[in-house]
A and B are shown apart, each in its own frame.
Chain A
Amino acid sequence: DAKTTQPPSMDCAEGRAANLPCNHSTISGNEYVYWYRQIHSQGPQYIIHGLKNNETNEMASLIITEDRKSSTLILPHATLRDTAVYYCIVIPPGTYKYIFGTGTRLKVLA
């Protein structure tokens, strides 16, 4: 299974874009990249996922490099409520067991 590497922590000023990187250099062609976040004492919340193309939804944008070895989650206008741990995971086909590492702890500062 492809492993992911994320920085342990990041700070972002309120109202600015938060750009969270993820490396997945061993990803294979049919593996999806998923992003979840976990706000303190809550269950993980789905944010976005993608395969090859960049994706955007009401929460965030996902930019996947052309070689698919890394991706960036963008929160366009971070708010204090976006303070959470963000997890990047790679899902191989036929695997349903999510494996979350320790993620990136994003702190949005007022």
Chain B
Amino acid sequence: GAGVSQSPSNKVTEKGKDVELRCDPISGHTALYWYRQRLGQGLEFLIYFQGNSAPDKSGLPSDRFSAERTGESVSTLTIQRTQQEDSAVYLCASSRRLASTDTQYFGPGTRLTVL
């Protein structure tokens, strides 16, 4: 079946501009996660959503970052007033439910470059 998809695959923007990244989870997956991966580094958790529950935003690095999800479908991650340190690959993952034993499946990522 279809996996997690993300768009765009690459985004180049100028410092100070806003960007919006999109994630389509696997159909039927109620939990959705956003991570960031800087060049040569591991994954940093940003936020997760589970159904209609309040999201866990504890990993968002600043108030310039926000994310939304409508029900159990698409999610968007928005970065306002982008800075050069925001340059990274932004990865989305989904799982059947929010449980540590439910495997997270990752999308291909969006590579963001802030000039």
State the A residues within 8 Å of B (CB).
32, 34, 36, 41-46, 49, 87, 91-103
Contacts and interface: CB of A to CB of B under 8 A. Distances in A.
Interface string B93-115: 10100111101111111010000
Nearest to B106: A43
Contacts of B45: 97-99
Interface residues of B, number: 27
Contacts of B31: 96
A100 B35 CA distance: 10
Contact of A46 (B91, B100, B103): B103
Contacts, number: 61
A43 B107 CA distance: 6
Nearest to B95: A96
Contact of A96 (B33, B107, B109): B33
A contact face: mostly helix, strand, loop, or mixed: loop
A100 B42 contact: yes
16 contacts: A34-B103, A41-B111, A42-B109, A43-B91, A43-B106, A44-B93, A46-B103, A46-B104, A46-B105, A91-B100, A93-B100, A94-B100, A96-B56, A97-B45, A100-B42, A103-B42
A99 B36 CA distance: 11
Contacts of B65: none
Contacts of A94: 100
Contact of A49 (B48, B103, B108): B103
A96 B98 contact: yes
B35 A98 contact: yes
